[in-house]
Structure 1
Amino acid sequence: MTKTMSSDDYEQVAKEMRAWLNSQPHLPQDVSDGMLCRFAHSCYYDMEGAKSAADTYFTLRRDYPQLFTDRDPDSPHMKKFISAVNLAHLELSERRKLWIWQLNDPNLEHYELTLDAKFHLLVNDCWFLANEERFYESDIYMLVDFKDIVSIKVFTKLNMLAARVLSKYQREAVPVRLKQLHIVNASFVARKAFALVKKFFSKDVNDMIHFHEANSTTLHNFFNEDELPSDYGGTRPSMKTFMVETMKLINDKRYDKNTN
C-alpha cells in the first residue's frame, strides 16, 4: 500500500471519516474506505479539511450532473471528443505522479470545454477506482499541452459554467496533492484563452502555473528526460501510446458506479 501511515493509522482515519459521512444525509454512503482516506491524505491529514473536500466533491457531483453523467466513451459525442485528446498518468520517482492532457485537434472540430470536463472527470473517477490505496507524496504535476490552440476559434468552445465547476473541483475537492501546473506550447491565443478561466482558480493554484513556449526546453528544468513522453523530448513512449492505456483503464472500469 503506497502511503505514509501505518495500517492502524489508516483504519483510524477511515473510521473517523466514515463516522462523519454517516452523519451527512445529503452525501452518498457507499464510499470506500480507500476513497475516504484519499481525502485525508490529500489534505495532509487535516481531518476537517478532508471532510470539507469530500463534501464539496460529492456535492458537485449532485449539483452538476451534466458533467458527471452521459459520459459513455462509446457514445457518439464522447467518441468524437476522445479522438481529439491524449491523456497519460505517469509514475515518477520520489512517489510523484504526472498527469498529462494533450490536445490533438488542429482545427478544433471536436473540442468542447464541456466534453473536456466530462472526460477529465471520467478519467479521474476511473483512476481513483483502480488505485484506491495508492497515495502519492507529490500527487500530481499536471502538464497541459495547448499545441493546437492557435486559432481564435477556441473562444467559441469555452463554457464558463464548466470552467467554474472544473476549477472548483481542482481547487477544493479533488483528493490529490497538486504541486505544479505546466502549460506547454503556450501560444498567444492559448494564453488569452487561459486568462479567461484562470480567474476561477485560487491564488495558490495560479502561483503553481508555469508557461513553456513552443520549441523551448524550459520543461526540462522540472523533469528529467526519462520522466517525459517522447512528445516532450523524453525517452518514454509517445502520448498516443499512453492514450491506449488510458482507454483500457476506462473500459475496465466503465460499468463501475459513477463512471457512466
Structure 2
Amino acid sequence: MDKLVYKSHLIFYTEDEIQRILNGHGMKVDQLFDYVKIIKDWLKTQPHIPLEPSDRQIAYFLLMNKFSIENTKVKLDANYTIKGLIPDFFNKPASHPDIQRALKFVNIGFLPKLSKNLNRIIIWRLKDAEDLDVPLIFTIYCILYELKTILDFSNAEEYIFDMSYFPLSAVGKYTPTIVKRFFTVLEKVYSNRIATLHFVNLPSHALSLINLIKMFLKPKLRERMIFHDNFDSLHEYYDVDQLPKEFNGNGQSFAEINEGTKKLIMDHEDHLTKAFSARVNEDLRSTKLTNDDLLGFHGNFKQLDFD
C-alpha cells in the first residue's frame, strides 16, 4: 500500500479509497504488485521501449485497463510510441513560455478530492479567446495525464467545462484533425476512462463543437454528456465543499486551482521532460507493426495519417 500513497495534496486520495477502488475490481494490493512484476519482467524483453516506468506508473496503467495484463502491455508500449507520432503534443517542457502562456488563457486543473464514485474531477474554463491556442490546450492535458500516471489512483475521470465565456471566435479554432488526434491520445494511449462530461452555460453557437466532439466519442460516452443551464444543478452531482467558489461551492477558487496546476507542473518538470522526449527505437522492436489495432489505423505507426 505504501507505494500507492498519494504524493501531492493537489491530487489527494486516502488509503480507504485505494482499498475501495481495488475491491471494486476484485483486486488485492499483493495481487496488484504481482501483476506489476509480470509487466516489469515483460518490459525487460522489449528493448525498443526507451524508459522503464515506475511500479506506481505500471499500477496506474493496470487500473486504467481494468487489470488486464495484455491490455496494459499494449497501452504502455503505445504511451512511448505516440510521443514520436504526435510530437506537437509532447515537444515543449513545462517551463516553456508557450506552456506558461496557455495557463493564462485557460483555467484548468484537478479538484483535490475524488468524487463520490472515486473518480478524479478535472475542471476547465476559458479566460481569453483571442490568444486561444488549441494544440497548446491539448498539450496541457497531456501534461496532466502524464502526471496522473505518477501521482493519481482513481477509477475514472469526470470533467466539468464552464462555458460561461466561450465566444464564437473560439469555436473555429477546434478543427476535426486536432480533436481527433487528442482523443486518440486520451482513449488509446493514456487509457483514460471518462465517467461524465459536464457542460455548464453552453452557448448555442458552441453546439457545433459539441457535435464535433461527439464524432470521436463512442455511443456510451455520448450518453455521459450532461448539460447544465447554471451551476446550481452541478450540486446534484457534487458536494458543495468539492466545487470551486465560482460554481457556488466552498472549494478553491479557479485562480487557486490554476496556481496549483502551475506548481504541480513545474515541480515535476524533470519527469515530464524525460517522458516527453523519450522516443521508441523501432529498429529494436522484436515484432514489427503491420496492423495497429490499438490506435485503429492500418499500417506501420510511421505511416499514421490523421487527415
Contact persistence 2:103–2:258 (CA under 8 A): no
Percent same amino acid at aligned positions? Answer: 23
Shift of 1:193: 1.5
Aligned length: 251
Pick from 51, 54, 67: which aligns with 2:89? 67
Q: Does 1:244 align with 2:277?
A: no
Tell me how far apart the structure 1 counterparts of residues 126 and 254 of structure 2 sit (CA, whole Å). 10
Q: Deviations over 1:29-48 (max 9, x none)?
A: 42112111211111221222
- State TM-score, norm by structure 1: 0.86
Tell me how far apart the structure 2 counterparts of residues 25 and 63 of structure 1 sit (CA, whole Å). 19
Pick from 132, 144, 160: which aligns with 1:123? 144
Q: Does 1:150 align with 2:167?
A: yes
Contact persistence 1:61–1:68 (CA under 8 A): yes
Q: Deviations over 1:93-115 (max 9, x none)?
A: 5533211122112xx11112111
Q: Does 1:139 align with 2:156?
A: yes
- State TM-score, norm by structure 2: 0.74
Contact persistence 1:227–1:236 (CA under 8 A): yes
Computed over aligned residues only, the root mean square deviation of the Cα atoms, in angstroms, reads: 2.2
Task: Say which SS state the counterpart of residue 101 (structure 1) adopts.
Answer: strand
Match of 1:104 in 2: 127
Tell me how far apart the structure 1 counterparts of residues 249 and 89 of structure 2 sit (CA, whole Å). 33
Tell me how far apart the structure 2 counterparts of residues 29 and 78 of structure 1 sit (CA, whole Å). 24
Q: Deviations over 1:161-199 (max 9, x none)?
A: 321121112222224443111122211122212212321
Q: 1:189 to 1:20 in 2, by over 3 A?
A: farther
Shift of 1:230: 0.9
Contact persistence 2:94–2:266 (CA under 8 A): no
Shift of 1:63: 0.9
Contact persistence 1:21–1:29 (CA under 8 A): no
Task: Say which SS state the counterpart of residue 236 (structure 1) adopts.
Answer: coil
* Unpaired segments ≥5 residues, structure 2: 5-14, 278-307
Q: Deviations over 1:128-155 (max 9, x none)?
A: 33x1xx422x33211122222132x224
Q: Does 1:86 align with 2:101?
A: no
Contact persistence 1:112–1:158 (CA under 8 A): no
Contact persistence 1:57–1:174 (CA under 8 A): yes
Of structures 1 and 2, the larger Rg is shown by 2
Pick from 193, 216, 221: which aligns with 1:205? 221
Contact persistence 1:171–1:202 (CA under 8 A): no
